[in-house]
Chain A
């Protein structure tokens, strides 16, 4: 698996650009990952989504349902898509340092 530079360090990513080691993630890494997903600047709203995804993942080792994400962060579905144009599964999860979601996504 190849390594790419994110947030000033070399990090292993899979062929779809998801980082492999959640511990390698930090906010600078997230900012650089965000750029690969069409998010030029991480606003407070972006962090709210990303931080929740990461916390949930570290606790349960899986991505949360979109329902849980919206309920906890208070964002509407449409707002999530406005924040992360490639959607919660590929966009937001990638920025939060989660592995690629499995299945038909």
Chain B
């Protein structure tokens, strides 16, 4: 037997922490792998480096798995040779682990999705990063950013006065454009509907996205504010695996929104920030968040569908494709909303394949843009993304994540693609109509019978819902026809020729999607406007994936009287210049 090897101090700390951090999901993932190889084909690193097995997710996972087997799992104590249990001893071993967990994986979770055993590689890769960070082993870029986030409160060390001065600067720029000399970006207003938080990069290097968002909020008449401090919605804790940092950063933002008594926190387009703040950090911070949290993509889509802003898509005519950020899409399920929004504001939308949950990483994820030492690997693995982008034939790639913006910009240059990267807010702000503000009164006494002379067909299989909507429309002067399933809706549409159909998506009989398409394809029903009212957002695609003109209105249940009435009036009273 060889002499028992000594563990370095750092290794001891790492192993102690491994025991503390282990939970059932991670243990499950660590024992479940059967080395079937499904994950290899799903990883962009592997696809771009087919001859290098060290990029295979299962290989990378084994670096962590061997520690688990050696130190925590009983199998490793009984027959270590069989389960490949192996210890680590020196700081060099830790450096080697760093090279794998920071330098060969962006935590994009594409392999997790494609694993038949449900092994969540990214979860324990992140944990392993956290173990190393706890003993000070991490790429320098990660260390610098984490320090700024701990000490100054935002990841780019932006001081409060500089932040406020930049907001004032953007306000000045907007005054002319909006024709309102009084305009100013509201700061620290209390009791607002929306508190808007951003990524520090916007304020430090490119505040055009702040101005664009402010323009949209202004035109909707939204009651909104930005916080004067604790405004950073990004979170390097997600990348570094440091739950303490993650929790501390998010807690500041949560507490700020509570201090301002904001009703909803809206976050600008940043994938990791959205995922951290909305989905992960309540656990890291052990915080019960008492307000709603939303991505600005969903906010903008709501504004358009509720008629609070009008857009002219002919202002964005270049072919546009959409890149799903791993954090927004794969991890948070935001698939359809950005596409719906894009189709409303650009004339030529082209899907990228694969897409949604199956999309490939931008290659800048997991904090990779802050780790220069791995840039050559990143750019080499980006070949997969470059091919995907090139195949779309688009000139613009839109994405809802700052990391993706930079990752894509870098690879577009490296692979000499003729493309630009932009965010959805830029496209929406460019398409939004400033001159003619929509002035459907949101509240106050309605005009006498605003729906007089209109016939509305209400299609819904819940009798209560039908009765509620019918009463509401009839009270405002409309003639109402009721249908309780898809077939009846179609028949009544043909016989009664209504002005508007309100369509529930989950009904018996013919599916709502089919009914919608049949209506759109029937020349006699060309003037019939459609407003979808549905409680099942996952069914949106059954409407929007069809190659017919999209519905004029879309409302998510539960709905209020005010929202229904405003949307219906918007649909009926305003011309739709959506280019179709």
Contacts and interface: CB of A to CB of B under 8 A. Distances in A.
Contacts of A68: 162
Of A71, A77, A86, A105, chain B has the most CB atoms within 10 Å of the CB of A105
B521 interface: no
A68 B165 CA distance: 9
Given A16-B375, A62-B157, A103-B155, A87 B165 contact: no
A16 B409 CA distance: 13
B205 A86 contact: no
Interface residues of B, number: 36
Given A65-B158, A67-B162, A103-B201, A77 B208 contact: yes
5 contacts: A15-B374, A65-B204, A89-B206, A104-B402, A104-B406
Nearest to A102: B144
Interface in B204-244: 204-208, 234
Interface string B361-384: 000000001101111100000000
A100 interface: yes
A86 B148 contact: no
Contacts of A101: 156, 205
Interface in A1-39: 14-16, 18
Given A14-B372, A65-B204, A66-B204, A104 B144 contact: no
Given A65-B203, A87-B205, A87-B206, A103 B370 contact: yes
B145 A103 contact: yes
Q: Is the interface of B mostly helix, strand, loop or mixed?
A: helix
Contacts of A97: none
Interface residues on A, range: 20 to 34
Interface string B427-451: 0000000000000000000000000
B496 interface: no
B276 to A, nearest CB: 12
B234 A86 contact: no
A16 B370 CA distance: 10
Nearest to A37: B413
Contact of A65 (B144, B148, B166): B166
A70 B372 CA distance: 28
Given A103-B155, A104-B403, 8 more contacts: A15-B373, A15-B374, A15-B375, A65-B162, A65-B165, A67-B165, A67-B207, A103-B148
Contact of B207 (A14, A66, A86, A103): A66
Interface string A75-91: 00100000000111100
Contacts of B208: 77
Nearest to B154: A103
A103 B200 contact: yes
6 smallest beta-carbon distances between A and B, as pairs: A15-B375, A89-B205, A102-B144, A103-B155, A67-B166, A14-B372
